[in-house]
A and B are shown apart, each in its own frame.
Chain A
Amino acid sequence: MPRRAGAPEVNAGSMADIAFLLLIFFLVTTTIETDAGLDRMLPPIEPPEEDVIIKQKNIFQVLINKNGQLLADDNIIGLKELRVKAMDFLDNNGDGTCTYCKGKKDAESSDNPTKAIISLKNDRETKYGTYITVQNEIVGAYNDLRNREAQRLYGQDFTDMEATYLNPETPSGVRDELKEKVKRIQDLFPQKFSEAETSTSN
């Protein structure tokens, strides 16, 4: 008996079920990539060859005790004031050589941004969360100042420029152009930020 139609059609009704099964499998076994954080460089373990003499007024010392209280240049301050205090220190321009600074030119504070150093010291019992908050505020102080200069020079935020520059999907032409700009802003306010070893005392 001859067939009336060709080969019978395969029933594709269960295809959706199979695909759902795969989808759920991937949903369960994978995570959406959310890794971001604060980049820092640790100081090398060998001390530098020659000792550099740094004036006391060019160091902004931040101490965190085990209860999460802050001591900045011998004054107890709240965490929320830290960013402003750090910006005042960096932007101070004590010797008047920094043409773009808007600081108070206080002779007792830092000479200029390239000499200003922020030193962070913490207790062994300080909570990591507090430490990150302090780090965040200090990085924030640098970013705010850099953003101000980037706005003045290029009309955009430094953080945006840097993100575009670091994004591997940015075309290389744009990146080369940004590299110069990012470098220039970074040199205006270089991040001189030292993490001293922790103290064991309280």
Chain B
Amino acid sequence: MIKYSNKTDGGVPPVSTASLPDIVFMLLFFFMTVTVMKDSTLKVANELPNASEVKKMEKKDRIIYIHVGRPTEKYSAVFGSEPKIQLNDKYAEVSDIGTYVLEQIGKMPAHLRPYATISLKVDKRTGMGLISDIKQELRKVNALKVNYTTYDGDAFMNLRKTDN
């Protein structure tokens, strides 16, 4: 027969959960400091290639991002499946890149402008034709520092055949 008793004598005392908020706050602050806010939603597939000889990008304030890839499923019905360029939150044409980059450089504080770096986040299935056009546009506006942003990994993984 089971007897319920309210007496605590002899039983195991309940574990105190008073420090739980402190632990959770600690976690919270950890994540707040090591992460950054997502600043734009991706509208293009963005599976970056792997490379092993990578250099970390120093600071975020001097980086201008250009995303390239096929429109994601949600948008492919309207925009088709050819690789497109995404600047900020919008699809853009090759001819828009020059203006965009100059505008972004203009927004930076003057002392950072010489260090402005273009981060090319390009899906690994994209053809080089579009990339060459982008590079040509960047050369026209004299934004010569580029970073081919990649994942850290074995570069030969890129050669593996992927469906489409």
Q: Which residues of A contact B (CB under 8 A)?
A: 12-13, 15-16, 19-20, 22-23, 26-27, 29-45, 68, 79-80, 122-133, 135-137, 139-140, 143, 159, 162-163, 166-168, 195, 197-198
Contact = CB atoms under 8 A, between A and B. Distances in A.
Given A23-B24, A79-B159, A37 B131 contact: no
Q: DSSP majority for the B interface?
A: mixed
B146 A31 contact: no
A132 B21 contact: no
A136 B125 contact: no
Which 3 pairs show the lowest CB-CB distances between chains A and B? A124-B129, A129-B124, A30-B35
Given A35-B56, A42-B135, A123-B128, A128 B49 contact: yes
Contacts of A40: 146-148
A39 to B, nearest CB: 5
Interface residues of B, number: 59
A44 B144 contact: yes
B40 to A, nearest CB: 12
Contacts of B145: 39, 41-42
Given A30-B35, A35-B56, A22 B28 contact: yes
Contact of B55 (A129, A131, A166): A166
Interface stretch (B72-80, B100-108, B149-157): B149-157
B28 A38 contact: no
Contacts of A34: 151-152
A45 B142 contact: yes
Contacts of A38: 51, 53-55, 147-148, 150
Contacts of A137: 155
